[in-house]
Structure 1
Amino acid sequence: MKSPRSLRTYRAKRDFQKTSEPEPGAEAPRGPGEPPIFVVHKHDATRLHYDLRLEIDGALASWALPKGPSFDPKTKRLAVETEDHPLAYAGFEGRIPEGEYGGGDSLLWDRGTYETVPPGEAHAQRQKGHLTVQLHGEKLKGRWHLIRTKPRGKKAQWLCFKAVDGEENPDYDVTAEHPESVKSGRRATRGPVRKAARKQGPLPVEQLLQRVWPPMLAQLSVPEQADDATHLYEVKYDGFRALAALSSGTLTLDSRNGNDLAARFPQIAEALRGLRVTEAVLDGEIVALDAEGRSRFQLLQQGSGAEQRFVAFDLLWLDGEDLRQRPLEARRELLEQLLAGVKPPIQLSERLELPGDKALAEARRRGWEGLIAKRKGSAYVGSRSGDWLKLKVQAGQEAVILGYLPIKNERAKEEIGALLVGVHGPDGYHDVGKVGTGFTSKTRRELRALLDRQRVKAPAAVDAKARAGAVWVKPKYVAQLQFTEWTSDGRLRHPVFQGLRTDKKPEEVVREKPQATAKASRSSGSRRAPTALAARSTRAAAPKAPPAEDTGMARLTHGDRVLFPEDGFTKQDVFDYYREAAPLLLPVLANRPLAVQQWPAGIQAPGFFRHELSGMPGWLPTLRVKHEEKTLRHVNVQNVDALLWLANQSALTLHVWSSHAPKLAQPDWVVFDLDPGKGGWEDLLTVARLLREKLEALGLESLPKTSGKRGLHVLVPLAPGHTYAQTQRFSERIAAELEAELGSIATTERSISKRRGRLYLDVGQNGRGKTVVAPYSLRAIAGAPFSAPLKWSEVTRKLDPLRFNLKTLAKRLDAVGDLFAQALQGTQTLE
């Protein structure tokens, strides 16, 4: 298509190797009879203005309106005639580069068709100097006048005003009411870098960071304090808070305490240096993602090789301009523009366009730590502010390590048994309890070596509880914990160790409590002055399971009913056991299809095995799973309430799939079930040892656990990406090798009559839809034993599976911790 001669000026003013504006000739041919188009661009160049463009003679005749259009007929707005633009410019939106003509952001503010009054006279009316146009736009409607006045300087000047046609409205400020782009929805614009900033040059990164320091902190709150009319909801990420300052390719990446994070996270630092910007300060979180894309502090702290990201959620400075006083929405839009097209490890924080209750439900469903509710229109302040609210769906707390209890296992003298922890208060440190779970053997050894160098004679806590064998240390290290609730006497219930925090000082660690925050009126659109609070920030760890809080939805009924007659254990005992085991079970059970065995009349009566339970209440999380013949709705144990509801249904034994949603086709482990025959425990030990040797010869680590009865399960934790076909083939191959070597005592024969008293090598649980008894699940036999994860050093003649039972869980965890945690962090691959 040949370009009109009127576009020569447009072409001469632009370098199309630098600007993304369309070059003349790029427009598609217009069809015969199509009505002429008009557009309005919101253009932030030397100053913010609005460019009105009308299709006339094959191009877009253009006028710049410094104050934009008005629906008040008495308000006549200046319209400076500029060069014609190509028709392809009607779809343009973007940033014109610095130093180029018209440099700055240009948004497509309005678009539509028009006709002159009378029709077909656009060329003649333009020549005459009086255009009367009927606009059919998304924002501008009705009749408008453009009248040329006496020229001032080189550019022709016109007046633009609304005609009296019934569409006028003196009280309607269209640019204020509708600042957004009709193409992208963006509202905020950024002009070119100011000349003064270009003259003085970019600031050194250290000075740049100091200009916007300190970071803004969120206040722990409750959902009722946020309002859908006044707040926006974002995902709360669980990692290291980090501010990134960029200046001419140099970078400073600091934690909220000013510690350098660039050396620790070199890939993230390199990616940030590659951002196309002269000066910028981004606020965000450095996180490590699990297989489902959820941030998990444990993975970040352990340096486990998990995928790391810098998740940016705010923009404080950009090319010489301090953005902190701009409204929240404007900063977000500029951040989105800056990060448009970037790839991991940099990403934009996820915003939920949902009402608060549904956003929280989504956070629970997806296993996030919680949400941040941010007040619309709020500025960025360097303090803790009620304009940012932390809404947690998981309970978490940072705690100062005040000491430890040595492990009771004689074979592991170099390990800790439990940490003694506290928080800081006005009069010093206060004891908040002990933490005995969440550790691996390696972590227990490393903590013992670390803490032994800090030993002191007396505890630092002003209210330290007397504990036999306690070793006290200097309050130097901060631990990240997950827990279920605070007890009435100020202790942590069911705390689980997540890792050490190197970005927090011990004296900053206080008990975090929800604060009351004044709620804005639903009708109020004004900005609210931020409130600074004295409390310090803490962040909870994000385990694989969603929330661990008990909201009281699950109720115990008939708690005195005896379920284990020989032992006298009641339904209340089972309910209490599963409440105690919840921090261990939730990471295993969440999003995993579940089958249960129920004994409502006690274990002496017949039980029931069910995938889908009747009478499930509306609040209970469920998981719809397609089986071979039908789709079933499984209980999804995403929180304590779901687990306790099962306990109240007398669901004593819990069986789980080897995979979890949303990747139900990818098993998390290979499982071998060793079911003893007449040879008993002695034969089982022989088979188990050879199985372990074969796995180790392939470079594979394995985890044994008791079945809860008389057998042994051996699991091989896997990295994501395996299929059930792979695990089935692998397990069958290994089982066949074991049978070939130990055929006199072990067999893969399923028929009991054909086993002839030999141990059964069962690998059938490796198929899709097959289940294995969950770790820590009770079994319906006398003594109420549970399926106990083991160390291989415990698999000896002395091992008695029945000693791990309903009454000994706490003792077991004090001794060895949660040994099953490693099975949820598999990194191994099969051949």
Structure 2
Amino acid sequence: MATSRRSKTSARTRLGTYRAKRDFSLTSEPAPEVPAPRGEGGPIFVVHKHDATRLHYDLRLEIDGVLVSWAIPKGPSYDPADKRLAVQTEDHPLAYATFEGRIPDGAYGAGDSLLWEEGTFDTVPPGQASEQLARGRLHVVLHGHKLEGGWHLIRTRPMGKKAQWLCFKAKDGTEQPGYDVTVEHPESVKSGQSATRGPGRRTRRTAAQRAPAKPVRASRPARTKGSARTPEALLGKVWPPMLATLAQVDATADADWRFEVKYDGFRAIAAFQGGRIALQSRNGNDLSSRFPTIFQALEALGEHEAVVDGEIVALDPKGRSRFQLLGKGVEERYVIFDVLWLEGEDVRSLPLEERRARLERLLEGVKPPLEIAEQVKGSAKQSLSQAKRRGLEGVMAKRVGSPYTPGRGADWLKLKVQANQEVAIVGFTPMANERPELGSLLVAVREGDTWKYAGKVGTGYSTKVRRELRTLLARDVVKKSPVKDAPYVRDALHNEEAFWVKPRYVAQVAFTEWTEDGRLRHPSFQGLRSDKRPEECVREKPRSTPVRATRGPHRRTGTKTRQATRAAGRTAVARKQATRAPSPVAPVVLTHGERVLFPQKGFTKADVFAYFRDVAPLMVPALTGRPLALQQWPRGVDEPGFFRQGVQGTPDWLTTTCIHHEARSLPHVVVDRPESLLWLANQSALTLHIWSSRVEHLEEPDWVVFDLDPGPAGTFDDLIQLTLSLRRYLEGLGLASVPKTSGKRGLHVLVPLAPGHTYAQAGAFANKAFEAVAAEHPRLATVERSKERRQGRLYLDAGQNAWGKTVVAPYSLRALPHAPVSTPLSWSEVTPKLNPARFTLDSVRRRLDKVGDLFAPALAGGQTLPPA
């Protein structure tokens, strides 16, 4: 259905809320600018079965260039007497009409969204959708697979910022009282899937669920203890993916290598388990809806339990992969180059050549769009020459005998015929003659905390792309350049000044070389990359020094499974920590030190910076090797702050580690030197939350955590009584413990452990200990989860003893007006006279001069938990 220019302009404006609520580097939902395929037959409607906070149905009608949307908790009804609530939500882009997939945990609307129904509609009288919507009285006739006939949508009253409507069936001869269409037809019209999973991976099935239109294979028993129950969980076992290092041919001089074609596309990791499939990007984004043909083809491997690694590519007429052709309707393939898990076994520790042999057996007989990566014979120079003759991007050099190791290392090298680089778009120049087109892109790369200008990209665009980019970037224009010391940019050819934009999009460009002043020479636009964040765009510098040869191929041993588990939790950065001390870095420079972060006390950012510098000798040993989560207050504690698990745009010297959480991977800061703390202070990261385990052994906690909080109804005296009871219980088992304040009203007690304990063991022990304390003080405390059954008693929660859970770091600040600090204690201080509020930014340093590091015993380990 054609729309007017005025309607399109209105649509762009109306999709602002949709865009603001979503991070398209995380979710696979379509961005507003993604074009929607148009069909015939009038305006479209769709219904999504969305398992978010609760299961509901989203009705969407195409009106004025967008999908106007309502959330209907119980779904549409064929009974005219059944008037169901419909809450109007934000408008969605037309491309959403084909969306189906899982919105990752942590993203807005997290959970499965199935395309439950689709079709066309019109109004009664015809052609009045826009007018009826404005009046708040829509009478629509739906023509779908499951919904046929008329329905009314009547606006009743606003509900906050959302309008509340009623949806009910029209009496037009198609009504069917007593017929529940959502029960009779729970399946997706796109995939046939019926079951849905909400956030946190809970699975819902309807009681009267019928077999889906497209059969789903029944799950089969896992072969080994290492098997996962879902393909997503299987991905979590082998995450994150292995990454390659850009290199020159000379880097291959001192080792034996195998060479493969380097493919130019989207990195994708696929898992198969129990007949189900997961397909995700290297950042953990769901790719099933973006590449449905590939996803369907993977069903040929569905009887296996496996995880494979590969690249989704689009082929030009000569069969060469071209990134810029992805999504343009040309032939797409999934080229698989490695296997990480196979039939219940983690095979990442096997030598490269053995994994390749197993992969070839796994893929024997598969047909396009699935294929195995092509190997190239000869030396590095010969392989690269072949790639050049064939017009390929380059070759991958993979060291013989090497394991599959998470993170970036030197066992995989990228040797390129023509250089390309991912760059952040920071501005543009317009085309002359007032044409609504882009003249050139202004791009940058990330250097530490700033953007480094990398030049203009003026070639590689079609007229259509120039127009689309101009429209896309015009929404993000800012007055001030995001690039530090940005040059005055003027398009000499078109005599037009530049527009600067907020760095939101990533472009891939081909170029010949870097100039001495850090600019791209002869860059050419290849396409946008939605799988990368702007902060990931750092200048790639090719390695030229040879990779040292090993004494021989990696051998399998009786401890292979344990070695593989350790490898999974260890990144290239973590291995660097284990082999040598951190290299020196330039001093961290404080910026905006005068900014007041604690107004009540007058403490500035400079005061926080000085505090972190002074306590670093005690904090760094406690934090070294532990992934962090951060709470930042850049405008001070009286203004809203924000919580961050992952970080982007960190300086090259700062240690980070990439950890897979549910459906996405996140880079965490790892403190391993005083400069790391100073960098965090400069980011106004006042509160640091640490894991109980270190990167080298993420599955093995270093302590059991007991988190005691008096809650809104409890008293501090009650808390002290329970804490001392816990100490007596622990001492009765011969276990030493270390107390500290939480920095607020609570206390933490840590029991240091010897290596080899699991989170499951720590959690079970903590539960048992808390049960003993609650039994001793039944009027004060309970382990009852239900708030209604607690009856005002203090809840003893052992839930902090789980993988990925964190505890406030010792000596960390808290964002309260008096600037309190989470402070380690001696047990002699844990009395009713204890006042945690007296440990603050300006008092803790004097305390440390007197008592020293009371947290050190928590790092000593050496204790073994008693049998359950």
TM-score bucket of the superposed structures, by smaller chain: 0.3 to 0.5
Q: Under a length normalisation based on structure 2, what TM-score does the superposition of the two structures give? A: 0.37
Q: Under a length normalisation based on structure 1, what TM-score does the superposition of the two structures give? A: 0.39
Q: Larger Cα Rg: Structure 1 or Structure 2?
A: 1
